[in-house]
A and B are shown apart, each in its own frame.
Chain A
């Protein structure tokens, strides 16, 4: 009986400590140290919320760089991938279809090697990045759709170079570019 009472008391104590005090303490301290990150790295245009730095968005218009395919069409409630296995016929035909679409949409040579991430859906369905190569493959199409001249094209390529992220501390992770930020910069080119 004594054991049962102690169980209850210690459960109550640890619940208060690790379930209430600990998360509140972390919230308090990070709201002071990293307020932007703690609140979702949100992006505003004027005062309007247009998304988050970290959460990818769907882009299908010809004037924007496309994001990766997403099993959830970039709707975060809830996040997730396709969970198709490597011998799934549906995945096989999806990839063939995406390859065809990417080549037609960007008016590329049919033998162009398309980076894998543009053909396969991400794990979270919210991947904000593509590789810089995948961005460069889309440049000509965007220039055409936006009627950009030579200078503007240079500016656009400069944007890609500026926004391309090298591996963190030079050795962690992959080279990548944030599609949402890239499209925001593209919109700014006059």
Chain B
């Protein structure tokens, strides 16, 4: 590593820490319905939305109705994305004349974008028409992120209100996050990205005659508008097959820096919003600190692994699957961020990372996507871990556990356990299933322990709604499309529904005033406890599986053994 590498990393985190409170403060105004500077600009659009749809923004609902609206809205999105893929050849805006998508790939993609996973079993430039990319995928990029924020807002209201059934209005939460947060940031980012060289047009693919006389077909399309929201909304589905390593998606180190920042920006800022809305900014910074510490630990291990010599390639830095303009440091900073933030876009091929760097990416996903995590999703996942931590701490000192003045009782702990167990169930059981079946093993691109890592990564990515992959695995088969599709559904709704149930029950409770006997949840002791619980629950669950994959591979690589 050179001093320049260090400066880039430091600058990245300084900017992240600096921007989080600014954006976080703005978002707290937006979501609590207060006045803010975007209302004069876009307020008319919000009013128009309510007028067109007949939503009464003052009307609030209980957790069951809130959940029903959310699920209904997502279901419609799923069916729509499914249908336009199945009939894209008959629909307009398909200049490359791409055929209809197979039913299982269409199912997988529709689930994938609805659940904010954006796993890609297909290659964008040779599979999907501009129409599908725009009115199908770009829309889901926005609304799946807004859905995540809405769930978080319901949870915040559950924690900060008392003796009520009302959790807010899903439609206004959805509308406000889209109009005032995601849309303006996407517009800004998209324009800057085009300035750096990201394509944004509706042209047919161009055929060039290369200097050596060969033909090269250059793909086109409205990429920048989708890439901006794919990063900001922690979606991650690329316009092109090689995602953010493609020079048309990520042409310069500056575009790379901005896209990386966009991955973590909203999840990081939401911790501030959270603190502000639950009435204690310290609580927000506590959560932020836990996320940052876990993130930096993973990053350090990954960088160490990538900059170490290994007997197979000696002094050569492992540039397989990495781009020259980004080099090792920017590729690793990205791989750690994208896995932590449930984004899943890649600027280097994770399949070709060193075993430990690949493992850090996997662990970041396996602990439940709570290290910043998906937009909204990371934070509500973190609150699940907070509930567990408070519960465990309460058991240790023999006191009724409380969080933010709310008693944590059997129901909340049961729901929290469900939310933790279901994604882990998907990762372990589905990986095991794929590892012992021919249809599972036939997709492998690498042999030995790395082959197992490909499978394990795929199901972790699905269950954690991440979307990145050890992309050598050929997952565009009936088995993988369906198994991963259901994995994504369980990983998303298996957390959202318990979280909303917790929110609903919390809202009904009274708030106990803080006293000398209150267990503090905003100090270093709690930060340490929370990190331990995350690592024990997430880490121990997956340690056996990880030791069969990346750990074994690391040891073999250091003995110079290849497969």
Contacts and interface: CB of A to CB of B under 8 A. Distances in A.
B97 to A, nearest CB: 13
A126 interface: yes
B201 A84 contact: no
Contacts of A125: 242
A20 B135 contact: yes
A101 interface: no
A139 interface: no
Given A85-B450, A86-B352, A80 B241 contact: yes
A122 B245 contact: yes
Contact of A78 (B49, B124, B183, B561): B124
B332 to A, nearest CB: 13
A39 B199 contact: yes
A48 B218 CA distance: 14
Nearest to A30: B194
A38 B251 contact: no
A173 B324 CA distance: 9
Contacts of B417: none
A158 interface: no
Interface string B125-143: 1100000001110110111
**A: interface residue count bin:** 35 or more
Nearest to A88: B446
Contacts of A55: 216, 218, 247-248
A33 B241 contact: no
B267 interface: no
A3 B241 CA distance: 37
Contacts, number: 364
Interface in B271-325: 310, 312-313, 315-325
Interface in A45-84: 48-61, 64, 68, 74-84
Given A57-B211, A116-B319, A173-B327, A84 B55 contact: no
Interface stretch (B70-78, B160-168, B419-427, B533-541): B70-78
B264 interface: no
A19 to B, nearest CB: 4
Contact of B323 (A3, A87, A124, A187): A124
B221 to A, nearest CB: 10
6 contacts: A13-B53, A38-B199, A55-B218, A76-B217, A117-B319, A130-B324
Interface of B: 4, 7-8, 11, 45, 49, 52-55, 65, 68-69, 72-73, 76-77, 80, 123-126, 134-136, 138-139, 141-143, 171, 174-175, 178, 183, 186-187, 190-191, 194-203, 205-212, 214, 216-220, 222, 224-226, 228-229, 240-242, 245-248, 251-254, 256-257, 310, 312-313, 315-327, 330, 346-349, 351-355, 445-450, 453, 470-472, 553, 556-557, 561-563
Interface of A: 3-11, 13-15, 17-20, 22-23, 25-27, 29-31, 33-34, 37-43, 48-61, 64, 68, 74-89, 91-92, 95, 113, 116-117, 119-131, 167-169, 171-174, 176, 180, 183-184, 187
